[in-house]
Amino acid sequence: MKLGKFKDPLPIPPVLKPKWKSGDYTYYEVSMVETKQSLHSDLPQTTLWGYEGIYPGPTFEVEMGERVFVKWKNELPAKHLLPIDHTVHGAEKEKPDVRTVVHLHGGRTEPASDGYPDAWFTNGFAVKGPIFEKEIYEYGNQQTARTLWYHDHAIGLTRLNIYAGLAGFYLIRDRYERSLNLPSGPFEVPLLLQDRTFHDDGTLSYPDQPENNTSGIHPSIITSFFGDTILVNGKVWPFFEVEPRKYRFRFLNAANARFFRLSLDSGQLFFQLGTDSGFMEQPIGVKTLLIAPAERLDVIIDFSNLGGKAIVLKNDAPTHFPIGDPVNPETTGNVMEFRVTMPLSSIDTSMVPAYLGPIKWLQTNSAQKQRFLELSEEKDLYGRSLFLLAKKMWDDPITENPRLGSIEIWNFVNTNGDDHPIHIHLVQFQILGRRAFDVDFYKKTKQIRYTGPRIQPEMGERGGKDTVRCPPGHITTVIIPFFPFTGQYVWHCHMLEHEDYEMMRPYIVLPPY
Ligand SMILES: [Cu+2]
């Protein structure tokens, strides 16, 4: 079905209201329910799963240090909306079809509240996964102002549960952020980017077979999902009416596998202020923004002096990044349209600050341990592609076991053709660089022969990160402080089809020596 562009206004998810708030703590309840929503005016209503019955879910607004408790409640039907592959680990036939668990992405969270993939639960907590610990999660929010997001993380189902609609924003605020005089209130807008494909009746389309599937398995996991429409905050190609002034946007790539490389067709700059984990030292002005699944970007766009103009936010990241099909200029090459049609309601006194504050850079010589972790492509029993971390399966014994309070350097050695966004739970790390190496020689000898100099992280990556792009043929190096909790977490590729099919590993933070 051909859907018109820029026909529907951009929705902005409502801010979630707590059930209880005192000086000591805040308590929320969030129900996951099946719902119907219009995602485009030419499309019949779509059946979705939403936190609090809306897609995307409502936005949490919390203060740094605020003690937050959330009871995540599964009130979903017993039948899944989408095709489950029972050969995928954790999604075996005897398991309930509809299992959920919530991860706060980028949160510094205790293990029992981190949404471990095996800590899933069904409607009413009737059935629980093997390491389920508690119904009410606790978030300490001991983190400076930043953009987090929450989403489903159930083992073997994450790609399907997020595709069905289970994702939303979680913003941490602090006093320093307020002192910066950034655009705020109606001029600060979260933008959640996804791609979807629809059947003519409005229902979500998710393939139940990979292309050229000879596995004989049905439904069967696919290598990666790419939709033919782009949605922002749950609307296909929306428009957003703005005033001629500065706006602050929190970009989140919540797509299953699609990268976005964003630009404005007016040719103007984005001013990027922050990364996954808060502000950079200073803003940068850039014409394009590359954002991989799960990454966030904190950006100001200045619409001053553009009254009456319509500006299209474009995307030109190939489908399969970095080497893949070019986007379709009519469809996936477009994200949304900004219309500078609103009168200026007040003088714009907000700022793009010249300086945002110091970052404590971690030094290589402070690291106690260095690890080399291969990202490899294999074939499964049925001839399907299978991506692995360090050549290990999800069920293999834990091999990454840093000590609490230690600093480690992890090198992601990518020997396959995809750029994988690698996410490590609990921690915020810094990117030290990337370096090309001889892949064939490595595959034969397991030895590293570099073929180029170390490349500095891109300007827009020079800050705290929890997800890092690992391009093919490169070793991507990050430095990671492990604190403030001991216990079992996961690290994984955030392309959801990879994560669900073995490109995820447990790791454990051990007590200090
Ligand atoms: Cu991947």
**Contact partners, residue 486, CB within 8 Å, separation at least 6:** 111, 404, 508, 509, 510, 511
Q: What is the mean pLDDT of residues 287-308?
A: 98
Whole-number percent of the chain with pLDDT over 70: 99
CA 151 to ligand 1 center in whole angstroms:
18
- pLDDT over threshold 80, residue 150: yes
CA 388 to ligand 1 center in whole angstroms:
9
CA 223 to ligand 1 center in whole angstroms:
9
What pLDDT band is residue 262 in, cutting at 50, 70 and 90?
very high
List the structure tokens of 271. Answer: 């001013």
List the structure tokens of 400. Answer: 């990454």
- pLDDT over threshold 70, residue 212: no
Per-residue model confidence as pLDDT tens digits over 180-207: 999 999 999 999 999 999 999 999 999 9
Q: Are 343 and 376 in contact (CB under 8 A)?
A: no
Which residues are near ligand 1, the ion (C-beta closer than 5 Å)? Answer: 420, 493, 495, 498
CA 335 to ligand 1 center in whole angstroms:
23
CA 493 to ligand 1 center in whole angstroms:
5
- Burial of 151 from C-beta contacts in 10 A (0-12 / 13-18 / 19+): buried
CA 423 to ligand 1 center in whole angstroms:
10
Q: Are 103 and 166 in contact (CB under 8 A)?
A: no
CA 200 to ligand 1 center in whole angstroms:
30
CA 472 to ligand 1 center in whole angstroms:
11
Q: What is the largest CA-CA distance in the chain?
A: 65
What pLDDT band is residue 161 in, cutting at 50, 70 and 90?
very high
The b/e string for 37-61 (b: 16+ C-beta within 10 A; e otherwise) is bbbbeebeebebbbbbbbbbbbbbe
CA 373 to ligand 1 center in whole angstroms:
13
CA 435 to ligand 1 center in whole angstroms:
19
The b/e string for 389-408 (b: 16+ C-beta within 10 A; e otherwise) is bbebebeeeeebebbeebbb
Mean residue pLDDT of the chain comes to: 97
**Contact partners, residue 466, CB within 8 Å, separation at least 6:** 105, 106, 276, 277, 294, 423, 424, 427, 428, 429
Q: What is the mean pLDDT of residues 313-333?
A: 96
CA–CA separation, 65 and 26 (whole Å) = 11
CA 31 to ligand 1 center in whole angstroms:
30
Q: Model pTM greater than 0.95?
A: yes
Q: What is the mean pLDDT of residues 278-306?
A: 98
CA 178 to ligand 1 center in whole angstroms:
37
Name the helix (H) or strand (E) containing 298.
strand 296-302
Per-residue model confidence as pLDDT tens digits over 345-370: 999 999 999 999 999 999 999 999 99
> Nearest 10 degrees: CA dihedral of 122, 500, 104, 164?
-60
Q: Are 92 and 86 in contact (CB under 8 A)?
A: yes
- pLDDT over threshold 80, residue 329: yes
DSSP string spanning 402-455? PBTT-EEEEEEEE-SSS-EEEEESS--BEEEEEEEB-HHHHHHHS---B-SPPB
Return the bridge partners of 509, or none: 487
